[in-house]
Amino acid sequence: MIVVLSKNVTSHDKELIRIYLRDRGYTVRDQQLGDDEVIGAAGKGVVDLRELGLLPGVERVAATSKPYELVSRETKTGDTIVSIGGGNVKIGGSRITVIAGPCAVESREQIRETAETVRESGAVLLRGGAYKPRTSPYAFQGLGMKGLEYMKEAGEACGMPIVTEVVSPELAVDMKDLTDMFQIGARNMQNFELLKKVGALGKPVLLKRGPSATIEEWLLSAEYLLAAGTKDVVLCERGIRTFETYTRNTLDISAIPVVKALSHLPVIVDPSHAVGIRAKVAPAALAAIAAGADGLTLEVHPRPDDALSDGPQSLYPEQFEKLMRDIEALAPVVGKELLRTPRPNSGGTISAVFSETPAREHRRKTPEPLQSQVVAYNGESGAFAEQALMRVFGEEAPRIQVQSFRGIFDAVLEGSAAAGMVPVENSLAGSIHENYDLFLRYPDIAIAGEVKLRIVHCLIADQRADMDSIAIVRSHPQGFAQCRNFLDKHPSWVLEACNDTAGAVASIAREGAVKVAAIAGAAAAEVHGLKVLKEGIETNPLNYTRFLVIRRRNAENTGTFVCTGPVPERPTKASLVFSVPDKPGSLFACLKIMADQGINLSKLESRPIQGKPWEYQFYVDVTIPEKDGAFSRAMEDLKGHTEDFHFLGAYRGSL
């Protein structure tokens, strides 16, 4: 049982609550659960919950049927998001977080080389063992504190927090200042004195499941950590011991959805220890992501054949790089985004230098100071644009709602928002031309990032409604179009168009309408307290919307745009707009320039030029090659072969 205390509770009130619970047979402990101060009551005591709830200082009482009260989703319905290393790295929510590194720190050079390699491929947390519990007393057992110092140095150089295993309560205090996250290994999952000591230190903890532990035993070990004082625990499934001998362990994929239903804590998977065979790690990793894991921890070594520990299951750098690309491609399918973080000394900045074109509209204004990382989007809370925003900037990102797409550009230009989230293309309905045209009207705005969101439509209604009570359905016209087959089965329903899907849901909540439903995403139902009558009603499940992150160009250098935030520094994609002279072969000449420099086109679309009947311009998305100078040379050549050349931005493209 959890007693949530009111914000103004006094010390005297807290002590009276503790005495009340102890007198009735409970063991009590103080705990901080998110922003709430709580008292946990465990044991077989008997209490009248109504009487307890009336005590001074009690805000509410949460009874749970689970023995792991603090861990249970009955106590906290929302997902916990664990922050590590000052907040740049988060595990949980809409992101997939990848931890990578060697099984053991073998030397200063080895851990630095590995850190640079995995960072380059997209890992955001560095793993490695300074102390290695081994079955054989003669096996390599790590470099101890010296190895941890090497690891900390490598992590700081590459901008990566570190996670390492702690093997004894005595070492925990010594390791505290050198590690960003403690790992409790599988062998120590039920070392309760270690759990209590590490939990009391208050640092984030990665808790691995023991090889013979049940899910309940695993969650009870997490309960020890939370009860001792830490509020940040990540569960790690790493395979259990079965009669199968071909793999090192048996990866319990089913544990992922089971645990996520039972607990609010994030769950990641260690496929390296689960299968123990290098060639099988990638398939197991992708299966874990498909099953709902919040991340992965992977063993990577620059030379696995020479590794002093777990070489056969350690990935080669090129295998890890390919796996990261596969994860990035899979992430949107499961409604997530691969987490990437800024590198040291970059502030997450990426820049590209190209000449700026004259403004057609909205000449440069003197901006107001930027609000730190505030992001603007169009629509009500729960809109698909807000979901895309959270994928890139995180669930806790400050944001503002505006009433139109143009309002997003205005907010960014004037400085009331640091960035904006703009939809530009749907895989079924095509381009949103209004927003492409806005880039030409706002030349001081540039593209800084991209995210592709799978659109899953639901029929949403009041809690009292059912399918038989519905007479009217509201949504954006695109929502109706994308759910045509479902709507055709209910010809009596009256369709009412709204400005956005989440707005349709909000209107039902405001009116308390029972006979009205909306077509929107499930997030909108949760935000507005409604229920999903039917999920996945879109005609085509391959329904994705592409959103662009926009930011203001650098005011000091009119030829440079600078993007700050959770965007890696090397752009992989760029967007351009240009027109060509009215003569044979002019478009071919432009395409040949890009082909000669190894630049691949991913989008080419013509649009009428406003105010010039029967004249057209081309919107182009291209992949930026890794070859030094190739992209810049191509852009310079293009300017000489085009008219009205606009460079919209270089950014990291979604796969």
Does residue 68 form part of some domain? Answer: no
Q: Are residues 392 and 520 in the same domain?
A: no
Of the residues 295, 312, 338, which one is the last residue of a structural domain? 338
Q: Are residues 414 and 519 in the same domain?
A: no
Q: Which of 275-289, 365-379, 394-408, 538-552 has the lowest average pLDDT?
A: 365-379
Q: What is the CATH number for 502?
A: 3.40.190.10
Does residue 571 form part of some domain? Answer: yes
- 């499941």: which residue's tokens? 209
Query: Total structural domains in the chain?
Result: 4
CB atoms near residue 5 (< 10 Å): 19
Q: Are residues 192 and 259 in the same domain?
A: yes
Report the alpha-carbon angle 352-409-415, nearest 5: 80
Q: Look at strands 616-623 and 573-579 and give their pairing.
A: antiparallel
CB atoms near residue 65 (< 10 Å): 7
Check if the beta carbon of residue 326 is closer than 8 Å to that of residue 338.
no
141-152 pLDDT tens trace:
889 999 999 999
Backbone angles phi, psi at 17, to 5 degrees: -65, -45
Does residue 30 form part of some domain? Answer: yes
Q: Look at strands 494-497 and 472-475 and give their pairing.
A: parallel
Of the residues 535, 564, 586, which one is the last residue of a structural domain? 535
In this prediction, residues 10-37 reach a mean pLDDT of 86
Check residue 655 and give its pLDDT: 42
Check if the beta carbon of residue 211 is closer than 8 Å to that of residue 249.
yes
% of the chain exceeding 90 in pLDDT: 67
CA proximity to 79, closest of 462, 461, 374, 396: 396
**Residue 48 binned pLDDT confidence (cut-offs 50, 70, 90):** confident
284-306 pLDDT tens trace:
999 999 999 999 999 999 999 99
Structure tokens at 203: 């640092």
401-424 pLDDT tens trace:
998 999 999 999 999 999 999 999
Alpha-carbon Rg for the chain in angstroms: 27
What distance in Å separates the CA atoms of residue 268 and residue 209, rounded to the nearest whole number?
Answer: 11
Check residue 372 and give its pLDDT: 52
Check residue 188 and give its pLDDT: 96
Name the more confident of 506 and 395: 506
Q: Are residues 302 and 181 in the same domain?
A: yes
- 């053991």: which residue's tokens? 104
Structure tokens at 648: 């919209």
What distance in Å separates the CA atoms of residue 219 and residue 209, rounded to the nearest whole number?
Answer: 9
> Would you list the DSSP string of 249-308?
SB--TTHHHHHHHHBSS-EEE-HHHHH--HHHHHHHHHHHHHTT-SEEEEEB-SSGGG-S
529-581 pLDDT tens trace:
999 999 999 998 888 899 999 999 863 333 333 333 344 457 889 999 999 98
Q: What is the CATH number for 49?
A: 3.30.70.1140
Check residue 572 and give its pLDDT: 87
What distance in Å separates the CA atoms of residue 520 and residue 515, rounded to the nearest whole number?
Answer: 16
What distance in Å separates the CA atoms of residue 59 and residue 9, rounded to the nearest whole number?
Answer: 9
In this prediction, residues 2-19 reach a mean pLDDT of 91
CB atoms near residue 430 (< 10 Å): 9
Q: What is the CATH number for 106?
A: 3.20.20.70
Does residue 514 form part of some domain? Answer: yes
Q: Are residues 107 and 250 in the same domain?
A: yes
State the amino acid at position 442 in one-letter form. Answer: Y
Q: Are residues 441 and 525 in the same domain?
A: no
Does residue 154 form part of some domain? Answer: no
* Domain encompassing residue 410: 350-454+544-651
**Residue 55 binned pLDDT confidence (cut-offs 50, 70, 90):** very high
Report the Cα–Cα distance between both ends of the chain, in Å, rounded: 46
Does residue 28 form part of some domain? Answer: yes
Q: Are residues 374 and 515 in the same domain?
A: no
Strand partners, 622: 574, 601
What distance in Å separates the CA atoms of residue 24 and residue 55, rounded to the nearest whole number?
Answer: 15
Q: Are residues 214 and 111 in the same domain?
A: yes
Catalytic residues: 545, 547
Q: Extract the runs of DSSP E, i.e. beta strands, from 113-161.
A: 125-127
What distance in Å separates the CA atoms of residue 83 and residue 88, rounded to the nearest whole number?
Answer: 7
Whether 348 shows a pLDDT value over 70: the answer reads: no
Q: Look at strands 350-353 and 560-563 and give their pairing.
A: antiparallel
Of the residues 502, 535, 568, which one is the last residue of a structural domain? 535
Whether 352 shows a pLDDT value over 50: the answer reads: no
Q: Are residues 309 and 404 in the same domain?
A: no
Q: Are residues 586 and 613 in the same domain?
A: yes
Strand partners, 208: 236
Backbone angles phi, psi at 563, to 5 degrees: -115, 125
Q: Are residues 479 and 370 in the same domain?
A: no
What distance in Å separates the CA atoms of residue 213 and residue 255, rounded to the nearest whole number?
Answer: 12
Does residue 135 form part of some domain? Answer: no
Predicted TM-score (pTM) of this structure? 0.74
Does residue 147 form part of some domain? Answer: no
156-197 pLDDT tens trace:
999 999 999 999 999 999 999 999 999 999 999 999 999 999
State the amino acid at position 70 in one-letter form. Answer: L
Whether 134 shows a pLDDT value over 80: the answer reads: no
Q: Are residues 471 and 448 in the same domain?
A: no
